[in-house]
Amino acid sequence: MEQYDVIIAGAGAAGLMAAGVAARAGHRVLVAEKMEKPARKVRITGKGRCNLTNMRSEADFLAKVRANAAFFTPAFRDFDNRAAVAFFERLGVPLTTERGERVFPTSGRAWDIADALVAWAREGGAEIACHTTVRSIDARDGRIASASVADAAGNERTIPVQYAIITTGGLSYPATGSTGDGYLLAHSLGHAIVPVRPSLVPLECDLPDIEALDGLQLRNVSARLVIDGKTRCEEFGEMDFSSRGLGGAIILRLSRQAVDGLIEGRDVRIAVDLKPALSPEQVSDRLAREAEALDRRAQLSDLLRKLLPRPLIKPVCRALPISAKLPVGRLTPRDTDSLVRTIKSFGLPVADYRPFEEAIVTAGGVDVHDIDPDPLQSRLVRGLYFAGEVLDLDADTGGFNLQIAFSTGHLAGRLGRIPSNP
């Protein structure tokens, strides 16, 4: 009979890191991966470029973790962003730090990160079995005793083990194998699951004729998330429109709270400052100058073309209490004030969020209250560990979520007693 000390459910970023650490400490490790190859999600992350970490300071990094940052802190200190960079560079993957402190492989190929991580785990002695699913994890007298695994044909076998590490990911990008298996395994062993929902996900918009904005990209704009009339957070950067709604970096960062607001049945809106570099007074002055330069027969829509992308003219005019055909010469001070307010806070009603297939990460997951943050062992079952997106841990876009996977995988792989040695 095959003999292993550790079984790891899922060969993603967290699982492979845990496997390599545990195997190099002398443990016999089996990684069960239900897909045809390991690190499927790593291979597509960052639009195929793999934003593997972010080089911000510890305080700034942890501020980007949206849930349970204090719980994550020991794992980050065990294997932080600088340790991750040194790790991959030792594996022969040149890295480049880009705008926003984001780190990518210099080649621009996510596969380089995935292949290096897989090779490192295997060279350390871990066995990776693809087309293999962990069906159940069994405990005896409060401690891990065995795991049942099945191959692609459904043939099942039970393997005695001392340790089990659940690293199955969440529900985002289910085509890569993230289909919530880990939640079922955790729940069967007594762990509560915080309701899961998409995070870093595009939003659907109720703006009339939203289809006309399909493909429009806005750069250097500021957007506020407004829930029930109150501003919750604000982001600056790029956003874009699709035939269904809103996307781009700033929308993704706002989406976590937006999704929660929608689930709670609240009124959710995005208020976009289309001219964030200008104060309201400066926008008013700019409008006055542009109006003076126009032909006397020019209309409001002609004036707006001087300030805004053409596709936005119609929706901005629709948001105003005045006609798009109003001659510029007949604009009153009240009309100008209304126009300035709309340009500085263009409202986009949010109707829904896109499904898990389009989400970068999953919010919610295994409740961390029953897990020791160091060493990520269950407080309910000895020998049971968790790492990665299966936990109720998620962060902003920009390399933070992959670092969560690397950090928690590294700490879990130590199995509570292996000295840290990245």
Annotated domain spans of the chain: 6-198+361-413, 202-353
The pLDDT tens digits for 318-361 are 999 999 999 999 999 999 999 999 999 999 999 999 999 999 99
* Residue whose structure tokens are 């006609």: 323
d(CA 417, CA 120): 21
Q: What is the mean pLDDT of residues 76-99?
A: 98
The two three-digit tokens of residue 86, written as one number: 């040194």
Contact present, 162 and 5 (Cβ < 8 Å): yes
CA dihedral 166, 53, 42, 245 (to 10 degrees): 100
- Per this entry, what is the length of the chain? 422
pTM of the model: 0.93
**Sign (positive or negative) of CA dihedral 352, 356, 361, 367:** positive
Is the pLDDT score of 154 beyond 80? Answer: yes
10 Å CB burial of residue 338 (0-12, 13-18, 19+) is middle
Contact present, 222 and 235 (Cβ < 8 Å): yes
The helix/strand/coil state of 30 is: strand
DSSP code for 47: T
pLDDT grade for 421, boundaries at 50, 70 and 90? very low
- At 305, the amino acid letter reads R
Confidence at residue 399, expressed as pLDDT on a 0 to 100 scale: 97
- Architecture of the structural domain at 6-198+361-413: 3-Layer(bba) Sandwich (3.50)
Q: What is the mean pLDDT of residues 52-74?
A: 97
Confidence at residue 295, expressed as pLDDT on a 0 to 100 scale: 86
Is the pLDDT score of 420 beyond 50? Answer: no
Hey, how many other C-beta atoms are within 10 angstroms of the C-beta on 161? 23
Contact present, 291 and 331 (Cβ < 8 Å): yes
Q: What is the mean pLDDT of residues 219-243?
A: 96
pLDDT grade for 418, boundaries at 50, 70 and 90? low
- Above pLDDT 90, what percent of the chain? 94
**Sign (positive or negative) of CA dihedral 109, 112, 118, 120:** negative
d(CA 3, CA 21): 18
**CA neighbor of 167 nearest in space, from 178, 159, 154, 175:** 178
pLDDT grade for 417, boundaries at 50, 70 and 90? confident
Is the pLDDT score of 41 beyond 90? Answer: yes
d(CA 122, CA 124): 5
Q: What is the mean pLDDT of residues 155-177?
A: 95
The pLDDT tens digits for 354-400 are 999 999 999 999 999 999 999 999 999 999 999 999 999 999 999 99
Distance between alpha carbon 222 and the CA centroid of its chain, in Å?
20
Q: What is the mean pLDDT of residues 303-319?
A: 95
Contact present, 375 and 403 (Cβ < 8 Å): no
Q: What is the mean pLDDT of residues 95-102?
A: 97
The two three-digit tokens of residue 64, written as one number: 């980007």
Q: What is the mean pLDDT of residues 262-272?
A: 98
d(CA 110, CA 372): 32
Angle subtended at Cα 24 by Cα 19 and Cα 27, rounded to the nearest 5 degrees: 70
Is the pLDDT score of 310 beyond 70? Answer: yes
pLDDT grade for 175, boundaries at 50, 70 and 90? confident
- At 147, the amino acid letter reads A
d(CA 291, CA 287): 6
Average pLDDT of the chain, as a whole number: 96
d(CA 242, CA 256): 19
d(CA 397, CA 205): 21
**CA neighbor of 116 nearest in space, from 95, 100, 133:** 95
Q: What is the mean pLDDT of residues 124-137?
A: 98
pLDDT grade for 88, boundaries at 50, 70 and 90? very high
What does R_g of the chain's alpha carbons equal in angstroms?
25
**CA neighbor of 399 nearest in space, from 54, 30, 22:** 54
Hey, how many other C-beta atoms are within 10 angstroms of the C-beta on 32? 25
**Reduced to 3 DSSP states, what percent helix, strand and coil does the chain have, rounded to the nearest 5?**
35, 30, 35
Q: What is the mean pLDDT of residues 188-208?
A: 96
Q: What is the mean pLDDT of residues 32-41?
A: 97
Is the pLDDT score of 32 beyond 50? Answer: yes
